[in-house]
Amino acid sequence: MWEDEKRMTFTEHLAELRVRIIRSGIAVIIAMVICYAFSNHILEGLQKPLTLLKDWGIVVFSDNETKNNPENSSEKVDSKPENKEKTDEIKMVVLNPFEIVILKIKVAGYGGLILALPYIIWQACAFIFPGLKPNERKLVKIILFGCSSLGIIGVIIAYFGVIPLVIPYLLQWIPPDWGIQLRANETISIIVLLLFGFALAFQFPMIILALVYLDLLSPDTLRKIRKYVVVGLSIVSAILTPPDPISMVIMLLPLVILYEISIWASYLIRKKPQTV
């Protein structure tokens, strides 16, 4: 009889899990439809960082001819103003009629997952929390809040700091007599990858603090392996960013700072009193 009750309980859990997965799937589909309806506005927002600094009136890089011949900068600017206009007004292009449709579907997919993510997390927590102890629930809530906050910070840094600097910097190396056109599908994919990469990379402090809370790591160990962690973060930054040193450094510096903050925060959540 006890086995039958246990089997029934397990079956009920599976039924509940199926219901919550179906609800999450429906939420994702609805969110994707909404994002597809507003895909033009989302695409405009994704390509906005390419000209963000110029719109703010901030001049970071000069044109190629001025950079290569600084002594003739005034003559070049006066004699070929159209070259500067060409680099200032970068056009997005598509190579076939179906590319924009595929791009909108991609954007709707990414946006739908992000838009429905809070509801998915809520469904997952509603399924898992009844089986957790109070201290485990508290840990999960802290991790969710911390991961969400750090992910938003990573996206903001990438959107307002990395992309407006990196992509215009890379375009500066294009020869001045070449036309500049960016393929929409590839460029938007790179921007989304950068945003996702920064949001993902900024999660590692919460992983460290969770391991410290579970006594799998200690603050002293974090201090001893600091140099190895910096090397690892450098490799991760090089993988998640375009192949140039500026974007790598822009990602690496916040990660190193977050790691140092994690070391000090680990002393606060350590179960046994520790001294720095």
What digits encode the pLDDT tens for the residues 133-155?
A: 887 788 788 888 888 988 998 89
Q: How many CB atoms lie within 10 A of CB 78?
A: 8
165 close to 54: Cβ distance less than 8 angstroms: no
- Residue 62 confidence (pLDDT): 47
- Residue 35 confidence (pLDDT): 94
- Residue 75 confidence (pLDDT): 44
- Residue 222 confidence (pLDDT): 87
Q: Which residues in the chain come in under a pLDDT of 70? A: 1-8, 53-90, 240-244, 270-276
What digits encode the pLDDT tens for the residues 213-264?
A: 778 888 888 888 888 988 988 888 888 666 667 777 877 888 888 888 888 8
Q: Which two tokens stand for residue 73?
A: 């900068």
Q: Which of 151, 190, 160 is nearest to 49 (CA)?
A: 160
